[in-house]
Amino acid sequence: MEEALLKRWRLILGGDEADGTGVSLSAEESRVDSALNALYDSDRKGGLNGSAPKVSRWLGDIREFFPQTVVQVIQKDAIKRLNLTSLLTEKEMLESVVPDVHLVATLMSLSRVIPEKNKEIAREVVRKVVDELMKKLSSPMQQAVTGALNRSSRRRNPRYNEIDWRTTIEKNLRNYQPEYKTIIPEVRIGFGRKRRALKDIVLCLDQSGSMGASVVYSGIFGSVLASIPAVQTRMVVFDTSVVDLTDDLQDPVDLLFGVQLGGGTDIDRALGYCQTVITRPTDTVLVLVTDLCEGGNEREMRKKMISLVQSGVQLIVLLALNDDGAPFYDKENAQFLAELGVPVFACTPDKFPDLMAVALAKQDVGMWLSKNIQ
């Protein structure tokens, strides 16, 4: 056990003058060491030299040596440390990488420079991640949202086609008549207003480069919400300009490739557009996903935030929607929103369905936040 521990330290420290362990590596352990050196000691050992074939072989090696969760971390480090983003436009690299959220964000930022002949491969990489996330996230989101809407809209004496039969029967079991073998429905429970969307949701996403993973998760959730008849969902993305991607919500891959990560940030302009598409303020939840680092007119941005809140819109600001931890954000703008009564926080994807359920049911988001977000 002591030798195994020393070997681990040897792999962490690297070889040559960094090696003070005095242990020798087997042939396979030497291959692991070489794979790690190519990335983490690249400044003194030549690294991967920006060669697509060499990088592809290296990607194959790390998949052989490490579990997928570790491969994703190493792969992310390689893209960041060795500036391999340009190689992701090449077919050989696209076929070798392990798809994950961060890779999708990188491909989104490169979508304009990926050669036409390689775009289909890039879409396949993105679709693998999208399909996996949809399987994981769609059911919790649908259950949370429909449950919240059913509870908030349930009413007495509904029209026949609006009756919630299961709940009505449960409420009237005490009125069972044995001689007639039936239940007298003294109280009828219904969903109400089923002929139109009960709530409007606007997802407004900052597509500046720092928000990549948040945009990926937001796009997935937007597509799931769009499949729920009881809500009407709109997707708006912005940098210094504003693009409405609502028509792409049916296909999250098209949606993500419609996002152009990078550029500046004009929250004021984005909120101005959202105001033009909100027709039922008191029945609207506006989720603004941004780090609040305004590059436009900050004073006008704050005025629009006040106007939205005063109109009855339920405004929620997510500084991040990912698993990456605490983000960088503009603390003064966050404080301004907090004083306005607007919840401002970072949210992990597993908490987002519950958050939307609370918002749609018009419950206290601040109370939910204190119990669920550390």
Whether 137 contacts 221, CB under 8 Å: yes
Q: What is the mean pLDDT of residues 233-239?
A: 92
Which of residues 300 and 252 earns the better pLDDT score? 300
| pLDDT at res. 253 | 87
- Say what angle helices 27-40 and 68-81 make with each other, to 10 degrees: 40
**In terms of Cα–Cα distance, which of 324, 348, 290, 289 is closest to 137?**
348
Q: What is the mean pLDDT of residues 162-180?
A: 82
Q: Measure CA 248 to chain center.
A: 16
Confidence class for position 264, pLDDT limits 50, 70, 90: confident
Which of residues 135 and 273 earns the better pLDDT score? 273
User: 176 forms bridges with which residues in the sheet?
Assistant: 183
| pLDDT at res. 58 | 76
**pLDDT > 60? residue 75:** yes
Q: Is the dihedral of CA 294, 295, 299, 300 positive or negative?
A: negative
Long-range contacts formed by 126-130: CB under 8 A, 24+ apart: 126/99, 126/253, 126/256, 126/257, 127/253, 128/99, 129/99, 129/100, 129/101, 129/103, 129/104, 129/216, 130/104, 130/220, 130/252, 130/253, 130/256
Which tens digits make up the pLDDT trace of 172-204? 888 888 888 888 887 777 765 544 567 899 999
Distance (Å, whole) CA 256 – CA 4: 45
| pLDDT at res. 194 | 47
DSSP 105: H
Q: Whole-number mean pLDDT of the chain? A: 82
Q: Of the ranges 60-74, 172-186, 201-215, 290-304, which one carries the lowest mean pLDDT score?
A: 60-74
- Say what angle helices 352-360 and 365-372 make with each other, to 10 degrees: 160
Distance (Å, whole) CA 70 – CA 261: 26
pLDDT above 70: percentage of residues in the chain: 84
Which tens digits make up the pLDDT trace of 118-145? 888 888 988 998 999 898 888 989 888 8
**pLDDT > 90? residue 39:** no
**pLDDT > 50? residue 50:** yes
**pLDDT > 80? residue 321:** yes
| Structure tokens belonging to residue 245 | 């991607």
Q: Of the ranges 100-104, 133-137, 279-283, which one carries the lowest mean pLDDT score?
A: 100-104
**pLDDT > 60? residue 45:** no
Distance (Å, whole) CA 106 – CA 258: 14
